[in-house]
Amino acid sequence: MGPLYSTIAPPTQQSYRMILWGLTTNISFAAIKIGGGLLGHSHALLADGLESLLDVLNSFLNGIAYKAAQQPPDAEHPYGHGKIESLAGIFGGGLLIFSGIIIGRTAFSQIASPPPQHPSSFTLLILIVVILIKGLLSQTMLRKNQELNSSLLHADAWHHRSDAMTSLAAFIGISLTLTGIPAFRTADNWAAIFSCGIIILNGVYILRNTAKEIMDARVSEDMVNSMLEVAKSIPGVKSVEKCRVRKSGVSLLADLHVRVNGDLSVREGHQISHNVIHHLLANDPRLRDITVHLEPD
């Protein structure tokens, strides 16, 4: 009898490489934007740079959590280590919301008394390059993902696209301030506040998804239905009474109540339950741990 514990397939080499490319871009952009924002006196560019820096921190956090979640169960954690991803989610989401509020407050407080210095025009040049590269990156990722079909890569591509939008807002804000029209004097600050809004929204999104996982929210109906189909197709299974699935990090844990002929021997019934487990594990790589309870008919 094979192992009843299966490890989830890591993202393919190719999608992993694309995600690493995105991370490298974020690291260099964070440095350029923060440096440019400080030297060029632009709140919008500085906020945009801090957003990139937070992206980098979150990527590292997720990478470490993903590695730790792959650790097989041990005596201390018999259900495996998947929940560490939820811990990373709480921390990462909280960090985004906290930073968004802090940066936004600074930009807001200066609207009443704007500093005498205008942003330098070279900040616009930085933003043009950033918007072009980010746009290209997300476009390439989405196209590649049509064959790779990785949800991780898909989410990453959309994040790069949202980053391009934040940078575009910064570009517009700085341009308006540079027109010298008095009404647009604080446009740079407003663009920074817009960036902070995006940062906070991203944090709320991460926290909301994490809360669902912690609460063991039900998984998609399609997933449960396909499990029922597989279980019912196993010889000896008369019906499936109950099928519960919950998410633990990147993996899923499930328990099923299966009805079989009540006159079978313990050995025969046990064999059927193992067949059910092995077919379910083979059918969906996200499933990691399955318990089958037998009901006599």
Positions touching Zn ion (CB under 5 A) are: 55, 163
Q: Which is nearer to Zn ion, 244 or 274 (CB)?
A: 274
Residue 114 CA neighbour count, 13 Å, CB half: 18
Q: Which is nearer to Zn ion, 186 or 273 (CB)?
A: 273
Q: Is the dihedral of CA 109, 113, 118, 124 positive or negative?
A: positive
Give 256's strand partners. 243, 292
Q: Which alpha helices (H) appear in 149-291, and where do they start and end?
A: 151-178, 187-214, 221-232, 266-283
Shortest Å distance, C-beta 113 to Zn ion = 30
How many Å separate Cα 47 from the centre of its chain?
22
Phi first, then psi: what are they for 54, rounded to 5°? -65, -35
Q: Which is nearer to Zn ion, 176 or 292 (CB)?
A: 292
Which residues touch 27 (CB under 8 Å, ≥6 apart)? 56
Q: Which is nearer to Zn ion, 156 or 163 (CB)?
A: 163
For residue 199, give the H/E element and its range. Answer: helix 187-214
Shortest Å distance, C-beta 55 to Zn ion = 4
Shortest Å distance, C-beta 49 to Zn ion = 11
Residue type at 39? L
Shortest Å distance, C-beta 159 to Zn ion = 5
Q: Which is nearer to Zn ion, 4 or 219 (CB)?
A: 4
Shortest Å distance, C-beta 138 to Zn ion = 11
